[in-house]
Amino acid sequence: KAGVTQTPRYLIKTRGQQVTLSCSPISGHRSVSWYQQTPGQGLQFLFEYFSETQRNKGNFPGRFSGRQFSNSRSEMNVSTLELGDSALYLCASSLGFGLQSTEAFFGQGTRLTVV
C-alpha cells in the first residue's frame, strides 16, 4: 500500500512568486491536512480538506489556499511568496475527518526555500 506522496520534495522560489504543492493521500483516505514546519514555530496547522471541502483552517493569511479533488488528491497554493514562507510543508492523510488515531499518516514533506 503506497504511503502519502508529496511532490515536489524540494523547491526554490523567488519572493513574490507563487507556488503549488501536491499531496496524494493513501488510497481510500478522504481527509488531507496541511502543516507548515519551521525551526522557530514548529508544526502549524494550515487547513484540512475532506470530500473536496475545507473543513478546518488554521491562522494563516489568505495567501495560503488549498483545494481537494474528487480523487482526494490535494494541492496547496501560496501566492506572493515571502522569505518567511520558507519551511517544510507536510500533508497528512486519514480515513475520516480530523486527525484521528492511527488513521493519520504524514508524507515526507516539500521543502520550500524562498530567496
Among positions 4, 21, 32, 81, the unique one binding other proteins when judged by CB under 8 A = 4
**Binding of residue 58 to other proteins (CB under 8 A):** yes
**Binding of residue 114 to other proteins (CB under 8 A):** no
Q: How far is the CB of 16 from other proteins (least distance, A)?
A: 25
CB 65 within 8 A of CB 2: no
Alpha carbon of 2 to those of 26, 71, 96, 106, 114: distances in Å? Answer: 6, 15, 18, 12, 30
What letter represents residue 78's amino acid? V
Residues in the chain, total: 115
| Number of residues in contact with other proteins under rule CB under 8 A | 26
For residues 83-102, which are near other proteins according to CB under 8 A? 88, 90, 92, 97-102
Q: How far is the CB of 44 from other proteins (least distance, A)?
A: 7
Among positions 26, 109, 112, 114, the unique one binding other proteins when judged by CB under 8 A = 109
Angstrom distance (rounded) from CA 107 to CA 115: 24
What is the residue whose three cell numbers read 486519514? 94
Nearest to 32 by CA among 86, 97, 114: 97
Binding site for other proteins (CB under 8 A): 4, 35, 37, 39, 42-45, 56, 58, 88, 90, 92, 97-102, 104-109, 111
